[in-house]
Amino acid sequence: MYSVENTWKEIRDAGVQIAVIAIGAIEQHGHHLPLGTDWFQVDHVARRLAEKLDAFYCPAMPYGNSWEHQRFPGSLSLRPETLAAVLRDIVLCLRDHGISKIVVVNGHGANWILKPTVRQLNYDYPDLTIIWSNGVNPEDGGEPPVEIHSGLSETSRMMYLRPDLVKDEGVVNSPGIVGQEFLDYVGFDRVTKTGAWGCPADGATPERGEEILDASVESSARYVRWAFARIEEFKSQPSVVERDRVPGRESQEES
Amino acid sequence: MYSVENTWKEIRDAGVQIAVIAIGAIEQHGHHLPLGTDWFQVDHVARRLAEKLDAFYCPAMPYGNSWEHQRFPGSLSLRPETLAAVLRDIVLCLRDHGISKIVVVNGHGANWILKPTVRQLNYDYPDLTIIWSNGVNPEDGGEPPVEIHSGLSETSRMMYLRPDLVKDEGVVNSPGIVGQEFLDYVGFDRVTKTGAWGCPADGATPERGEEILDASVESSARYVRWAFARIEEFKSQPSVVERDRVPGRESQEES
Amino acid sequence: MYSVENTWKEIRDAGVQIAVIAIGAIEQHGHHLPLGTDWFQVDHVARRLAEKLDAFYCPAMPYGNSWEHQRFPGSLSLRPETLAAVLRDIVLCLRDHGISKIVVVNGHGANWILKPTVRQLNYDYPDLTIIWSNGVNPEDGGEPPVEIHSGLSETSRMMYLRPDLVKDEGVVNSPGIVGQEFLDYVGFDRVTKTGAWGCPADGATPERGEEILDASVESSARYVRWAFARIEEFKSQPSVVERDRVPGRESQEES
Amino acid sequence: MYSVENTWKEIRDAGVQIAVIAIGAIEQHGHHLPLGTDWFQVDHVARRLAEKLDAFYCPAMPYGNSWEHQRFPGSLSLRPETLAAVLRDIVLCLRDHGISKIVVVNGHGANWILKPTVRQLNYDYPDLTIIWSNGVNPEDGGEPPVEIHSGLSETSRMMYLRPDLVKDEGVVNSPGIVGQEFLDYVGFDRVTKTGAWGCPADGATPERGEEILDASVESSARYVRWAFARIEEFKSQPSVVERDRVPGRESQEES
Amino acid sequence: MYSVENTWKEIRDAGVQIAVIAIGAIEQHGHHLPLGTDWFQVDHVARRLAEKLDAFYCPAMPYGNSWEHQRFPGSLSLRPETLAAVLRDIVLCLRDHGISKIVVVNGHGANWILKPTVRQLNYDYPDLTIIWSNGVNPEDGGEPPVEIHSGLSETSRMMYLRPDLVKDEGVVNSPGIVGQEFLDYVGFDRVTKTGAWGCPADGATPERGEEILDASVESSARYVRWAFARIEEFKSQPSVVERDRVPGRESQEES
Amino acid sequence: MYSVENTWKEIRDAGVQIAVIAIGAIEQHGHHLPLGTDWFQVDHVARRLAEKLDAFYCPAMPYGNSWEHQRFPGSLSLRPETLAAVLRDIVLCLRDHGISKIVVVNGHGANWILKPTVRQLNYDYPDLTIIWSNGVNPEDGGEPPVEIHSGLSETSRMMYLRPDLVKDEGVVNSPGIVGQEFLDYVGFDRVTKTGAWGCPADGATPERGEEILDASVESSARYVRWAFARIEEFKSQPSVVERDRVPGRESQEES
């Protein structure tokens, strides 16, 4: 493994092919774990991964997007666009140095911005291959999703909705052969037969489409009504930050 | 339901409380479905949802982020930051008009940018409540995720990694009571007891932590090696856009 | 005409050369017309135009810049830079698909940002030709403006102001041969003889220049004084949104 | 008049109320006029205007948007967003100093970005009043446009297009009382009776609407076909920059 | 000292007043020092400083602006605007947590963007006090610069250049009482008597001004000519990255 | 010298090679000097410099970054990013016209943003050479700094801090041969032997490193404590803007 403990000459002479970038987060982790938990862990995991891959290990970025924790003292967040810019800048420097295979290890679930950023970088710079450190590996027993796009379900829905727009030709089954994260790496034109990922040939009908749509509206309406009520409930209660300042309260909650 | 078929006076006099915004996508849908599929469907579903909620239905935004389809003629994508700006501008106009409850109906899975955008809007403008049209409704049989943050798994990992930083006090179980999408609406200080969402009191050990971390590195490395190889394979094959120009080819692939 | 009701294969096989993009606006239209008026109309007109041109008709963008209507409930505006980004992203996708002739149909007078955006796109991407759907057609009886730049008027003004900087050579008449909107498509180096568009050879004098400048200052000062007063007057009156809440008021105003 | 030839104390003690900002352009002006023509002139006019208004005269911004002249050596342009930022920054500094009445004198027709920028500033900062140095002054004989929005023409078009959406109530004549540039200063809610600016009560009919729409499509199509051809023609000819390098050519063109 | 090794509750209960942010750089450090040198050092120094101040120590930002090293493999740079955004985001999070005294420890001279960023943050958020970890401490023997603004030199220059604009009144000596970095913290209105920082009353003359200006032009011209030549020379030689690939070359250079 | 008093044809025919851009500032200059002082002076100096260089003199940009003066009426500042954009746009226009040697004359010390902007432009566009009008000219008696990067001091500090990372090989003296501003023009790979600029071979020791680091922390802590106190003191006093409104106060301060 190479890292910033090396000199530039060592990096150059090694002819490194792969770089690993870890992205952490600084955010509250309850009463028992430290603010830096995500950063510490992703640094550990990513470093070991870089060792296995004999890669160049870039310093783990401590800060991520943790606005959902912002009310807790000590949580430190970047705005999504800032984190995107940090990743983009590092990736383009690596590209400058001839390193075009880059693994992103994300240490925090809410760093959502990384998803569109990695995808956009792969499409904007086709000479780069930026991948996630985790995903579905079919050769390792993983199950690629059968349907994602223009499959049985979506075809049925369109047969109900706009039958005039559904063609008879080209209704070809093309079930998933890799995980959905591959769409961050290459386009549908690489991983499908017609652009559709799914099994529209397995008996799509307008009736099935109507059912799915009805169910979708029903469940959406149910959820929305419930969610507005629940949020109101949450917002009307004191926040935990204030709540557990009340002496004796916490033990009661445990009972 | 109210919509842009109404006059401004009708909207004003109705005292609308909720708005619904649908976001579509313009992207290839195989040989049998039209480019506008996502837009047509989300418009249909969201409009019916708005009717049920007696909400103000904003015109469905046709364009989303579809870079994974960009190689197919007719796919039209916004850059992620553009879509974020569109949503933010519309939301802030609604806020201007005193509408603070907003439902976002996303018609395309790859509009990833909506996630951090909705979350950031909720945190930047606490007077707004912007929610998704779908999620986990526990009162409707949905299962909130037990562990998300500082639970049994994360505590075990930190006990292995940095035992000096794990406290004995405050190790309190606080399993999930709503779906994870609620973190787009309110913070951890509302939906947990200590900031932790999970069950660290159920027997976290360093051994368990070590196991999880080892497995994580192992599976990451396996995935990364496989993925680089698979992408290379994909990129070395002709794209489907070129591929199916070859006469007679497609039928062979089906066999 | 092609549209998002087609499949990607149909677009590809058609070899479409021209695309039409309509931009609407969501804004109040008085008591008798709906909020979506501009969007409905521009969609209608642009679609029919696309049919005539056998072009690819992109979904009409519903939202534009309508801040001058923002006080009226239901008006929904993008910030100018957002609308610019939407147009740019769509145009660059079309370019990706090999469509380089693009017609912008603007459905709302206050979408001012479209003007510098279209112009900049044409200059930044000289392989594109993005034009407006309307303009001066001299072959159809339209009158191109005689003077725009460095003509009789401007030369006279400079003769008065900085006679030392006015050259005798190259004073060549070059009256307009197309409408001013052509400057959004090609530069002055294409549509003029020397860079000047006008008739400086028709007797420019410092006296004429002084007169024009004096008149300009006079009329400016008159306008500015009046405008400040008028705005104050407007701002001191109740806004119409509040005003017509007063019962019985509206009928009086009509008398 | 006050200017940057004064000290800060003089500005403070004067209690200046109005500021004047001139925006120029650096662009070719044919063979006989200098590159700085627009800047020189706008500086002259704006300074004299500031004198008349006893205003604070800010240094004229030399640079504007002149991409249509960019092929000519010496033309120097800002990108539209840069010019917008310059104006916004200066305006906000003046606001900091308690100067809220600001006159923008635009020395170059193609500084289009100033239009949406001034309008947005007025709406974002309602305590400011930023006006143009020129416009329609009805008290001075100017003719405000009768119809702009939801008037006779637009109502007719909607009666043809979507008669179900045209209301009978509130069809009130509200012809223009100021020039259209007032929409950069205050909204429709100030200068109209119902939000409509025009005379829909003067006999709108679907027939009239159909006629207008048909004529609009016809003339658009005519223009578009002609314009594409004309641009091709322009682009196929040598640019004037190269053209007039040919010795002896220019005199011929004059004959 | 507090850090991200603490829990949120510990931070809250400690009532921390001061935060320390260190900014590093990842860049080549010759053949003998590692790429991470600046980061390692600034982390060390800033951590010890935080201990002394009993401050909250934010994770050191590894990445800075090192474009001058970009040709050397392993150097990783952010664009200036990205680094500015990172600092701003962290500072605003600290502000959210009630920490308004912030010390920036800069580990790399070329992180120039920090200078305008810190200054702008202090002026945009007057409730914050963001300071550098180093500067001139007059109570510790440091020498504040006597002249910075409108002093003897500048007054002389203006007496020569625009004598009509130099006032007789208010010519008051106001030599520096703190280092120039204080202008990043508070304005001239706090640290000077009249807005001038210098000694204009010590005998400013137009002759002195002329001399200074002449010398300035002379030395500029000398420098510019030399610099263009020197850069050409540098650019015409092979870069060291290529140079020292030549075997045996390096030892020669040492002799 | 050429300027915007010339026509485009004169610029073209002159084949100008060098352009000079002056950047001013509009800010208070005490009681005796005008707000425009920096602009007037830099315009004067830069114009004379352009004459000497027979360069194209761009109009001096009046506005710079003067937030430290913002409390004084009449000071007008751009935000740093705006000034950066102005410079970049002008530079790229000059590049369009084939002028690749550009001299920036900075008239105001606090225009900090120019530093990273010029550097970034030189690195983003290697065909451009943008230099400052002033710097260290060794051929003119100037003294280039001996140590900047990886020299004796930095090596000593690393020997103390991370001895495991300091290599024995490649410890080569490479003292400065030009001023530090050359790093805005070309990289370390041009002006050093190994990437190090300094004399690490002159006896670096961990002891020396420890001393330097200790002194650095000590002096930082001393400074920080003093600075926080001093700022509080400054902020608790009335600003000079208010202060000298008090009659009789100013004369007392002079005594």
Mapped to the 3 state alphabet, what secondary structure does chain F carry? CEECCCCHHHHHHHCCCEEEEEECCECCECCCECCCHHHHHHHHHHHHHHHHHCCEECCCECCECCHHHCCCCCCEECCHHHHHHHHHHHHHHHHHCCCCEEEEEECCCCCCCHHHHHHHHHHHCCCCEEEECCCCCHHHCCCCCCCCECCHHHHHHHHHHCHHHCCCCCCCCECCCCCHHHHHCCCHHHHCCCCCEECCCCCCCHHHHHHHHHHHHHHHHHHHHHHHHHHHHHHHCCCHHHHCCCCCHHHHHHC
Q: Does residue E157 lie in a domain region?
A: yes
- CB atoms A165 and C5 under 8 Å: yes
Q: Mean pLDDT across chain D, nearest whole number?
A: 91
Average pLDDT over residues B79-99: 97
Q: Quick check: D96 contacting E, CB < 8 Å? A: no
Average pLDDT over residues D49-63: 96
Measured between alpha carbons, how far is F27 from D4 in angstroms, rounded to an integer?
8
Closest B-chain CA to D163: B5
Contacts of E162 in chain D (CB under 8 A): 5
Contacts of F7 in chain C (CB under 8 A): 167, 170
Q: Quick check: E203 contacting D, CB < 8 Å? A: no
- CB atoms B70 and A187 under 8 Å: yes
Put simply, the chain B residues between 3 and 42 with a CB less than 8 A from any chain D CB are 5, 7-9
Spell out the alpha helix ranges (H) of D27-71. Answer: 37-53
Q: Does residue F163 lie in a domain region?
A: yes
Does residue B104 sit in the same domain as residue B161? no
- CB atoms C217 and D52 under 8 Å: yes
Answer for the pair C75, C66: CB distance below 8 angstroms, yes or no: yes
Burial of C75 (0-12, 13-18, 19+ CB in 10 A): buried
Give chains near B: 3+ CB pairs under 8 A. Answer: A, C, D, E
Q: Is the pLDDT of residue E101 over 80?
A: yes
Does residue B130 sit in the same domain as residue B143? no
Q: Does residue B81 lie in a domain region?
A: yes
Per-residue model confidence as pLDDT tens digits over D193-231: 999 999 999 999 999 999 999 999 998 888 988 988 888
How confident is residue E242, by pLDDT bands cut at 50, 70 and 90?
confident
Read off the pTM.
Answer: 0.91
Q: Does residue A151 lie in a domain region?
A: yes
Average pLDDT over residues A105-128: 95
Contacts of F5 in chain D (CB under 8 A): 34-36
Domain of residue B175, residue span: 138-245
Contacts of D90 in chain F (CB under 8 A): 63, 76, 78
Measured between alpha carbons, how far is C106 from C109 in angstroms, rounded to an integer?
7
How confident is residue E206, by pLDDT bands cut at 50, 70 and 90?
very high
Neighbouring CB atoms inside 10 A of A250's CB total 17
Question: Closest approach of chain C CAs to the CA of D30, in angstroms?
Answer: 4
Question: Closest approach of chain D CAs to the CA of B7, in angstroms?
Answer: 9
Contacts of E167 in chain D (CB under 8 A): 7
Average pLDDT over residues B2-12: 95
Last residue of a domain, one of D86, D105, D134: D134
Q: What is the DSSP letter of E187?
A: -
Chain centroid to CA B99:
23
Of D158, D189, D230, the CB nearest to C72: D189
Measured between alpha carbons, how far is A30 from A75 in angstroms, rounded to an integer?
12
Average pLDDT over residues D57-80: 96
Does residue F173 sit in the same domain as residue F216? yes
How many CB pairs below 8 Å do chains E and F form together? 353
Q: What is the DSSP letter of D75?
A: -
Q: Does residue B213 lie in a domain region?
A: yes
Give chains near A: 3+ CB pairs under 8 A. Answer: B, C, E, F
Measured between alpha carbons, how far is C60 from B36 in angstroms, rounded to an integer?
12
How confident is residue F235, by pLDDT bands cut at 50, 70 and 90?
confident
Does residue A38 sit in the same domain as residue A115? yes
- Domain with F57 in it: what CATH number? 3.40.50.10310
Measured between alpha carbons, how far is C190 from C194 in angstroms, rounded to an integer?
10
Does residue C107 sit in the same domain as residue C185? no
User: Does an interface of 3+ CB pairs under 8 Å exist between B and F?
Assistant: no
How confident is residue B245, by pLDDT bands cut at 50, 70 and 90?
low
Closest F-chain CA to E221: F49
Does residue A142 sit in the same domain as residue A167? yes
Closest E-chain CA to F209: E41
Q: What residues form DSSP beta bridges with D61?
A: D23
Does residue B238 sit in the same domain as residue B148? yes
Tokens 């949503």 -> residue: B87
Q: Is the pLDDT of residue E121 over 60?
A: yes
Last residue of a domain, one of F134, F169, F187: F134
Q: Return all residues near F226 (Cβ < 8 A) that are at least 6 apart.
A: E137, E139, E140
Does residue C74 sit in the same domain as residue C147? no
Closest F-chain CA to E189: F240
Of E45, E171, E190, the CB nearest to F239: E190
Measured between alpha carbons, how far is D88 from D91 in angstroms, rounded to an integer?
5
ipTM of the complex: 0.89
Contacts of C9 in chain A (CB under 8 A): 170
How confident is residue D10, by pLDDT bands cut at 50, 70 and 90?
very high
Q: Is the pLDDT of residue F10 over 50?
A: yes
Q: Return all residues near D156 (Cβ < 8 A) that are at least 6 apart.
A: D204, D205, D206, D207, D208, D209, D212
Q: Which of B190-199, C85-94, F58-67 has the lowest mean pLDDT?
A: B190-199
- CB atoms F165 and E33 under 8 Å: yes
Q: What was the pLDDT predicted at F249?
A: 39
Q: What residues form DSSP beta bridges with D101?
A: D18, D129
Does residue D114 sit in the same domain as residue D23? yes
Average pLDDT over residues B136-145: 88
Q: What residues form DSSP beta bridges with B64?
A: B77
Q: Does residue D109 lie in a domain region?
A: yes
Coil, strand or helix at E172: coil
Measured between alpha carbons, how far is F192 from E25 in angstroms, rounded to an integer?
19
Does residue D72 sit in the same domain as residue D33? yes
Does residue F63 sit in the same domain as residue F81? yes
Answer for the pair F86, E201: CB distance below 8 angstroms, yes or no: no
Measured between alpha carbons, how far is C14 from A24 in angstroms, rounded to an integer?
49
Does residue A210 sit in the same domain as residue A96? no
How confident is residue F237, by pLDDT bands cut at 50, 70 and 90?
confident
Question: Closest approach of chain B CAs to the CA of C240, in angstroms?
Answer: 11
How many CB pairs below 8 Å do chains A and B form together? 351
Q: Does residue C209 lie in a domain region?
A: yes
Give me the number of domains chain E comprises.
Answer: 2
Tokens 């932790």 -> residue: B196
Tokens 């001004």 -> residue: E209
Last residue of a domain, one of B134, B169, B193: B134
Answer for the pair A72, E8: CB distance below 8 angstroms, yes or no: yes
Q: Does residue F255 lie in a domain region?
A: no
